[in-house]
Chain A
């Protein structure tokens, strides 16, 4: 599964790790993240992410 990087602040979403603090289990692909999921560091939307 592909990692995605936030264009605004550089945070890398790693599907293996997920984003548990915000209710996203490890193993969740970026494409499967809810539409309203935002970068946990800077609040950027999914649209502002690019494949890492």
Chain B
């Protein structure tokens, strides 16, 4: 087997042995424009332990990195913090190859891994608060159910205060730099926001509970090692990501509006632009996103820290345009909180779309603050005045919050 890939030393006994996926551009419907990494870690304790594996096609890269420091057969324990296949993809093959003494996962992890890999056996279930000994050091487990899967858990090494957080505090970012302090702040915030909004947003209340729990048990953390993207190793960076997570999870409304729309002949687009002018005129930051050319996962990133969601669609064959059905279904699943909004669109004769959009907004818990605006064929001066006023009304509500 090729051994061109090297392990990256984190400290005297921890090595990064993951894989960098420079090509990844679609992650189950989330556009990963900067690629990603699948992070896996080797703990060179008395019982050599592998924390998580990698997506199956990257198995050889991980094995090469492991082989650069030890014979993979020396691995005694494997810990699976998360069952999703970007981290468990080659777990069965690794188990067959290294023949570990023990493989650990949470109780739901055991169930989930068995449901993915039907021949996997003898997994040991651990629960919140459990601890295992690697001989000269311990690993403590913290279950984080539904952050973001039922099986999710953290592994904590009290010896050096290292938190292996699987998807939490992670982001999709391919880089040769392994640490957040080596990467531009702009990129960390961008990809961090995109990750939180697309993956963790529905579980915001659980994120806040977890952050409270960490504080209340006095868990000291010197390094956070997630399963995607860079490692947080400075006190400043650990505080930064914790503060971001608190801010993103609280979902307090801001003076920012997002307008999503699709259009057939430019009329709904024109209405979107005029609504935007009404908002800007009243000091609201506006992100105007044409859904024909905006990816749903980028739309959701903008919604993360906004106060208003305004959605427009023309009507095609009695329904909203497919691009709008796509993004609205996606947003509905992510359960954004504390938003005000409205719907708008032009139509030819039946015009169901605007009502459908308004109903979806209400189902999502968006506080629909004004009557929806419908304009037939091409909006006239009065229609556009109503659009400008809608912008103004929403701006006044946001400014008064």
Q: A residues within 8 Å of B by Cβ?
A: 7-9, 41-44
Contacts and interface: CB of A to CB of B under 8 A. Distances in A.
A43 B205 CA distance: 17
The prevalent SS among residues of A at the interface is: loop
Contact of A8 (B106, B111, B145, B151): B145
B291 interface: no
Given A42-B108, A42-B145, A42-B150, 18 more contacts: A7-B205, A8-B145, A8-B146, A8-B203, A8-B206, A9-B146, A9-B150, A41-B150, A42-B146, A43-B106, A43-B107, A43-B108, A43-B111, A43-B145, A43-B150, A43-B151, A44-B145, A44-B146
Interface of B: 106-108, 111, 145-146, 150-151, 203, 205-206
B116 to A, nearest CB: 16
A12 B146 CA distance: 16
Contacts of B203: 8
Contacts of A42: 108, 145-146, 150
B199 to A, nearest CB: 15
Nearest to B106: A43
A43 B206 CA distance: 14
Contacts of A44: 145-146
A9 B205 CA distance: 12
A24 B145 CA distance: 23
A8 B108 CA distance: 14
A16 to B, nearest CB: 25
Contacts of B205: 7
Contacts of B146: 8-9, 42, 44
A25 to B, nearest CB: 23
Contacts of A9: 146, 150
Contacts of B145: 8, 42-44
Nearest to A41: B150
Nearest to A43: B108
Contacts of B150: 9, 41-43
Contacts of A41: 150
A16 B206 CA distance: 29
A43 B108 CA distance: 6
A41 B145 CA distance: 11
A10 to B, nearest CB: 9
14 contacts: A7-B205, A8-B145, A8-B146, A8-B203, A9-B150, A42-B108, A42-B145, A42-B146, A42-B150, A43-B107, A43-B108, A43-B111, A43-B145, A43-B151
Contacts of A7: 205
Contacts of A43: 106-108, 111, 145, 150-151
A45 B7 CA distance: 39
Which 4 residue pairs spanning A and B have beta carbons closest together?
A42-B150, A43-B108, A8-B146, A43-B150
A41 B111 CA distance: 11
A15 to B, nearest CB: 23
A8 B144 CA distance: 10
Contacts of B206: 8
A17 B205 CA distance: 29
Contacts of B107: 43
Among B108, B151, B203, B205, max chain A CB count under 10 A is at: B108
A43 B145 CA distance: 8
Nearest to B128: A45
A44 B203 CA distance: 13
A8 B143 CA distance: 13
B30 to A, nearest CB: 20
B290 to A, nearest CB: 32
